[in-house]
Amino acid sequence: MSLMSFGFECGNGWYKLIYKLCADIREYYLTQYEGVGYEGETYYHEIPPHFSVEQVKEKWGALCFYISAAPEFVHELIRKAELKSYTICEHCGKELQWGIQSDGAYRSFYRDELPWILTLCDECLKVHLAERGLPFKPYISDWQYEVCAPYQIFKGGKNEENN
């Protein structure tokens, strides 16, 4: 069952990222896809009717894009967009720089000490905290520092998780 009746359950800052992902998926189907459906019917350079986007939302500070069954190529496009969402402010769409700073501290925009985990730029974080009466502080949580999250996720451009 598609949950798309809920709309996109994430901030407007990821609009361009999601739009591009949808365009890339469409482009793949229309120019490269050749497949066989559940009843043995064949598809050539078209979007098969069994393909659907089930849910688009924010979870643990990242984009989650759920689809029905699809070729590996489509899943790879989605994985890349989901990783990229860690570097885009979910509120305003600003592209963020992550990495080790001159003082040696790791800096990301993954905010895991809020009541709700979010990926925000400094400006949007200040607004977000002010609206909730919370003090601004230079950002890095103990947990994030210990596991280098999400730094390791981006190491080498592929998902290496925290181990």
CB of 163 to Zn ion, least distance (A): 31
* Minimum CB–partner distance for residue 133 and Zn ion (Å): 20
Distance CA 95, CA 139 (A): 17
With respect to Zn ion, which residue has the nearer C-beta, 29 or 110?
110
CA distance 84 to 80: 6
Q: What is the dihedral of CA 137, 141, 146, 152, to 10 degrees?
A: -100
Per-residue x/- track, 110-149, Zn ion (CB under 5 A): -----------x--x-------------------------
Q: How far is the CB of 124 from Zn ion (least distance, A)?
A: 3
By beta-carbon proximity to Zn ion, the closer residue of 11 and 48 is 11
Shorter beta-carbon distance to Zn ion: residue 91 or 107: 91
Contact of 89 with 96, CB cutoff 8 Å: yes
Please list, residue by residue across 112-130, b when 16 or more beta carbons sit within 10 angstroms of its beta carbon and e when fewer do: beeeeebbbbeebbeebbe
Q: Which residues bind Zn ion (CB under 5 A)?
A: 89, 91-92, 94, 121, 124
